Amino acid sequence: MFSFDQPLTTRSPHQLRVRDIKPYLSPGQESYGKIRLEWTQCNYGGMRPWLCCPRCDRRSGILYQQRQVLACRKCWGMVHPSTRENAQGRWLRKCEWFHRRTGQRIPAGFPVRYPPKPWGMRHKTYADIVSTMQLEESTYLSHILKGINRQYQILDGLLSARALSTAPE
Task: Give residue-wise pLDDT tens across range 43-95.
Answer: 988 888 888 888 898 998 888 888 778 888 888 888 887 788 887 778 778 77
Task: Give residue-wise pLDDT tens across range 103-154.
Answer: 766 656 555 567 778 888 899 998 998 888 788 778 777 878 888 888 888 8
Give me the sign of the Cα torsion angle 16, 22, 28, 31. negative
Neighbours of 136 (CB within 10 A): 17
Task: Give residue-wise pLDDT tens across range 17-47.
Answer: 777 777 777 777 776 777 888 888 889 888 8
Report d(CA 93, CA 82) in Å as an integer: 9
